[in-house]
Structure 1
């Protein structure tokens, strides 16, 4: 296995007990992850999404050595996550949105210093990485504040910094922007985009905020009922479901005839406005030119297909 992350037939079952009479219970095995094959190369930024209960967090816990697989093969950074968990820990960083790796009563700066000793990071490397995070995530105003007094957005920026200070090859992020305000989300997204652009850290991101996926990830893996139902680009998912671009035009007068452009369909007209849909694989220039010929074109807006809409269609089909 040469990839940074590779799984073959990865499976995790949980046993649940159900009532089968007044005094008797029967045992049933439920597959939370059911035969996942996944290969992630170095430097990739992968979006790993699915509805609640699809198996996302269970997969991440097996990849990080928290849970033992019920079946299949898994390697992360060349290690088997559970038997070699200590060695693996030096090569990965983990951020779970609802759990903290920081010391609650210590200032953020001291948490970072303790992590340097735990991972045995040379002082010069630690200082360089911390300086980059301080600049990109704007940590300086609250570096000396105890973690328990930080806002959710400040703490999450601290968590991401803590996960990167030892220079991991893989960064696992589980709902890193959950509950954050708009400013904090923008800060975290910009930083993660910069991490991805550098190409020296593989990032696996699970989230329900599909704007994170659209902003950060070129590759998207969708899991549902424990199985992978899509592995490819977002564009491929749009093509699979026939997503269309929307063109909204503001005209001086209502359209008095159809717009004769292949691939364009009139969706609605109201007053001097027109809403048309257009195939994704065709540039909108011809449509805009045709609209301009029908009258005075005052304004035009192009709306890309909604990622939430197409992913919702995928979930419903399942």
Structure 2
């Protein structure tokens, strides 16, 4: 049995229908009509222990709703969820002890208390043994540098500091599963890299299973090998990230710096941009190899430097949403 099992879950909401005008408002007092909104529509997947999975989709696709059902916050309208053998909404306390959750735009620390006091409170909430607590705090201090703001009230922390503290708080009780919802939102490059490295480390060294929802495609590329792509509450793709890149990332880019500016003409490729001596050439790797293209260019032009770039995963995902998925 997989660590996480999701079988045909659906989540529906009944939203009151609003009538226009005063008469409509009066009518709704006596007879209210409802509209059914389907947030998650017959989703199934399983996740093995130790996996890091990217769970992605556009706004309103059903990502956060799914995570809330997995954590026990929401109850599915239909279908079955088991997290390490537990049904989350029926056994919320037991489930809470085995999971850690970080919502990028929310906070689980006490707003007006010094940061260290929040950790002390969580130690008591989760009944963490003293030795284990000290060891975890030493690790978080070493990797995340949270000791630099121990005495600072949470409300005074910068976004990057707050995120580091939140991730440490989510892992303080040694959960086997970590749910990350937009963990690097609004952070600078240095803070993002620090958090990504930490997530990789706890996955590798502790075997923590990570489910990551994000709009930052760099998070997906650097942290996960598997991607579950959803749209309008349904799973569009569940598989290797590399396969998506192989199928939808056929177009590569050759950036060439010429010794002397010239008009570029190449067979089997397309000039898409130029800035003086620098040219951007797009080519399909299934129709012409990079070496063939470089050979063709070097025979015609004096080349100072060149670089090959792979397509951005964000562009690939956008292409899938616009054109649909065909696998």
- Whether TM-score is above 0.5 comes out as yes
Give how far 1:30 is off: 1.4
Give how far 1:93 is off: 0.2
Q: How does 1:120-269 map to 2 (within 5 A)?
A: 120-198=127-205, 200-253=207-260, 259=266, 264-268=268-272
- Output one character per residue of 1:262-315: Cα deviation in whole Å (capped at 9) or x when no partner: xx5132474544332234568634433443333332111122102121111222
Show the counterpart of 2:301.
Answer: 295
Relative to total residues, which structure has the larger helix share, 1 or 2?
2
Q: Secondary structure at the match of 1:57?
A: helix
- Output one character per residue of 1:154-179: Cα deviation in whole Å (capped at 9) or x when no partner: 11100000001111110001111122
- Output one character per residue of 1:79-122: Cα deviation in whole Å (capped at 9) or x when no partner: 10011111111110001122222122222122112212221222
Give the alignment partner of residue 321 of structure 2, picking from 310, 315, 318.
Answer: 315
- Deviating beyond 6 angstroms after TM superposition, the runs of 4 or more aligned structure 1 residues are none
Q: Secondary structure at the match of 2:17?
A: strand
Q: How does 1:61-72 map to 2 (within 5 A)?
A: 61-72=68-79
The answer to which of 186-195 and 17-26 deviates more is 17-26
Q: How does 1:9-24 map to 2 (within 5 A)?
A: 9-19=8-18, 22=24, 23=27, 24=31
Q: Secondary structure at the match of 1:11?
A: strand
RMSD, aligned CA: 2.2
Q: Secondary structure at the match of 1:124?
A: helix
Give the conservation status (yes or no) of the 8 Å contact 2:88–2:95.
yes
* Partner Cα separation in structure 2 for residue 217 and residue 15 of structure 1: 35
The answer to which of 9-18 and 23-32 deviates more is 23-32
* Partner Cα separation in structure 2 for residue 236 and residue 53 of structure 1: 25
- Output one character per residue of 1:12-68: Cα deviation in whole Å (capped at 9) or x when no partner: 000112247832442222110001111111111111111111100000000000000
Structure 2 residues without counterparts, runs of 5 or longer: none
Call closer, same or farther: CA 1:272–1:100 in 2, change over 3 Å. Answer: closer
Q: Secondary structure at the match of 2:33?
A: strand
Give the conservation status (yes or no) of the 8 Å contact 1:77–1:169.
no
The answer to which of 185-194 and 152-161 deviates more is 185-194
* Partner Cα separation in structure 1 for residue 16 and residue 91 of structure 2: 32
Q: So what's the TM-score if we normalise by structure 1?
A: 0.90
Q: So what's the TM-score if we normalise by structure 2?
A: 0.88
* Partner Cα separation in structure 1 for residue 264 and residue 100 of structure 2: 59
Show the counterpart of 1:278.
Answer: 283
